[in-house]
């Protein structure tokens, strides 16, 4: 069975309406999780912890999608472009 790894991370955004981090050196890496349910639980905890700060945002990255060598690669879009 393939691993379905998920990365939870977040930090302060320049503007709450865009996904551009204010300082990438201060991105908070919550952790790598073996399934979506566990990642979602970690994401939810961090999102609730920072709910009063509109500039803080947390994300779940589907790392397993990057590792699927059978799928064709797609162009990477840079944040803020």
Domain ranges for the chain: 6-67
pTM, two decimals, is 0.76
In the structure, how many helices (H) and strands (E) does the chain have? 2, 3
Element (H, E) at 12: strand 6-12
In CATH terms, 6-67 corresponds, of 3.30.70.890, 3.40.50.300, 2.60.40.10, 3.30.70.2400, to 3.30.70.2400
Alpha-helix runs per DSSP H in 1-81: 36-49, 63-67
**pLDDT tens profile 19-30:** 999 999 999 999
**pLDDT tens profile 53-73:** 999 999 999 987 776 666 655
Name the β-bridge partners of 32: 7
CA angle 37, 44, 42 (to 5 degrees): 55
């Amino acid at each position: 069975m393939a691993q379905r790894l998920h990365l939870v991370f977040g930090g302060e955004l320049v503007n709450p309406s865009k996904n551009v981090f204010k300082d990438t050196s201060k991105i908070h890496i919550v952790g790598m999780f073996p399934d979506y349910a566990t990642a979602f639980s970690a994401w939810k905890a961090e999102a609730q912890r920072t709910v009063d700060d509109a500039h803080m945002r947390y994300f779940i990255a589907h790392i397993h999608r990057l590792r699927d060598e059978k799928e064709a690669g797609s162009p990477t879009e840079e944040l803020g472009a």
